[in-house]
Amino acid sequence: MGNRRISRRGLLGAAAAVPAVAGLNALARGGLGGEAALAEPAGGNAAAGHAGHEFAHATFAPGRSVDHRANGFHPTELLRDFDWGKTRRLAGGRLLREWTIVAQDKEIEVAPGVKYEAWTYNGRVPGPTLRAREGEKLRVNFVNSSDHPHTMHFHGIHPALMDGMPGIGERRGGGQIEPGESFAYEFEATPFGLHLYHCHVAPLAAHIARGLYGAFIVDPKQGRPEADEMVMVMNGFDTDFDLGNEIYAVNTVGFHYIDDPVRVSRDELVRIYLVNALEYDPLNSFHVHANFFQSYPTGTSLQPSEYTDTIVQGQGQRSILEMKFPFDGDYMFHAHVSEFAELGWTGFFRVGDPAKLSSAEAAALYCKLPWGGAGGLS
């Protein structure tokens, strides 16, 4: 099957000509706050109230979904997939935490039918969420199995040789890692916080935009309070390579968390590790509906700096967000850059037991969704 070609301006400007955009328009009209929530019709079935209306699924291709199995990763599983590596005690008692990361070229599907020639760490975008504790010794065995030179550049505090910078350390086997070569990055887990890693080979924006990035979490020695933790890497895809993104997402697949809302429990502390890995747009943002969160910029302090419902992040910026949902129901989250929201960067938190959610509480406009059909949720 050929790759569907879509253009960003075409998507936003030519709604009538592109069937998939019907969903985007429905989203923009009702989903992002343009109208009050739909009143539940008599009989208590919001979905039935739409009979005869063609509210399309908020997706790029109604009725179709991404083949997660072919991708080899699933955005719902990525949320809570923390890679702690393997540990062993060194002589002297210090803990060594170790990973192997392989750069591989791989085609992935970022929206239904939209394939993208990605460059990946360990076959997934974003790469594994590497997690360690403050003060541990870390070793990342990097193997470049791609057709292109790459590196792993970690945010953190380390010697120049370990910085993943082309031109620095070549004579010692570091610097730019050519196809077929490997290098072991060794450094200490410091400071605690939410960091990231990415390739640093030029052209830099292109190497990052291809998918070579991931979250890097260093827990404080004393840990953080118990919570339902998840990682959200905000990203985008320049599917026609014109230096502008056509698809925006959290964890790669546009609109995924509308199809499959992020399940959370009422009154439980939710901690989101939010990383902005977007290229070609200087700013991204995160907004949650009907709630507020504490924001810990870069996660380097145990005291939050702001209680808000929207934060803005520049490229490479990140923040830990903490919140509790006091009411059952579906709560949208999306980029407050509306254009991004309409091009995939929109999802829902689903609070409470789905079997007990009434259709009035569950995303009524999205009546084409599998869970939104006759009779509500099952």
Only segment of 166-174, 203-211, 232-240, 332-340 that touches Cu ion (CB under 5 A): 203-211
Only segment of 201-209, 213-221, 327-335, 341-349 that touches Cu ion (CB under 5 A): 201-209
Is residue 150 at the binding interface for Cu ion, with CB under 5 A as the rule? yes
Three-state DSSP at 264 gives: strand
CB 236 within 8 Å of CB 278 = yes
Is residue 206 at the binding interface for Cu ion, with CB under 5 A as the rule? no
Query: Is the peptide bond preceding residue 326 cis, with omega within 30 degrees of 0?
Result: no
Q: How far is the CB of 175 from Cu ion (least distance, A)?
A: 13
One-character DSSP codes across 36-55: PPPPPPTTS-TTGGGTT---
SS (H, E, C) 269-320: CEEEEEEECCCCCCEEEEEECCCCEEEEECCCCCCCCEEECEEEEECCCEEE
As a whole number of angstroms, the distance between CA 47 and CA 45 comes to 5
Q: How far is the CB of 201 from Cu ion (least distance, A)?
A: 4
Residue selected from 6, 11, 168, 199 as contacting Cu ion according to rule CB under 5 A: 199
Q: How far is the CB of 182 from Cu ion (least distance, A)?
A: 14
Q: Which residues, at least 6 apart from 110, have a Cβ–Cβ distance to it below 8 Å?
A: 66, 116, 237, 239, 247, 249, 252, 253, 254
Three-state DSSP at 162 gives: helix
Only segment of 21-29, 60-68, 137-145, 191-199 that touches Cu ion (CB under 5 A): 191-199
Is residue 57 at the binding interface for Cu ion, with CB under 5 A as the rule? no
Q: How far is the CB of 199 from Cu ion (least distance, A)?
A: 3
Tokens of 151: 């590196």
Nearer to Cu ion, 55 or 237 (CB): 237
Nearer to Cu ion, 201 or 231 (CB): 201
Q: How far is the CB of 239 from Cu ion (least distance, A)?
A: 19
Torsional class of 352: left (φ above 0), alpha (ψ -120 to 50), beta (otherwise): left
Nearer to Cu ion, 175 or 329 (CB): 175
Only segment of 5-13, 145-153, 171-179, 225-233 that touches Cu ion (CB under 5 A): 145-153
Inter-CA distances, 51 with 31, 41, 107, 296, 368, Å: 18, 11, 39, 45, 10
Nearer to Cu ion, 150 or 271 (CB): 150
Nearer to Cu ion, 99 or 121 (CB): 121
CB 201 within 8 Å of CB 209 = no
Is residue 271 at the binding interface for Cu ion, with CB under 5 A as the rule? no
Residue with tokens 């599917």: 239
Nearer to Cu ion, 78 or 201 (CB): 201
Nearer to Cu ion, 201 or 258 (CB): 201
Contacting residues toward Cu ion, per CB under 5 A: 150, 199, 201, 207
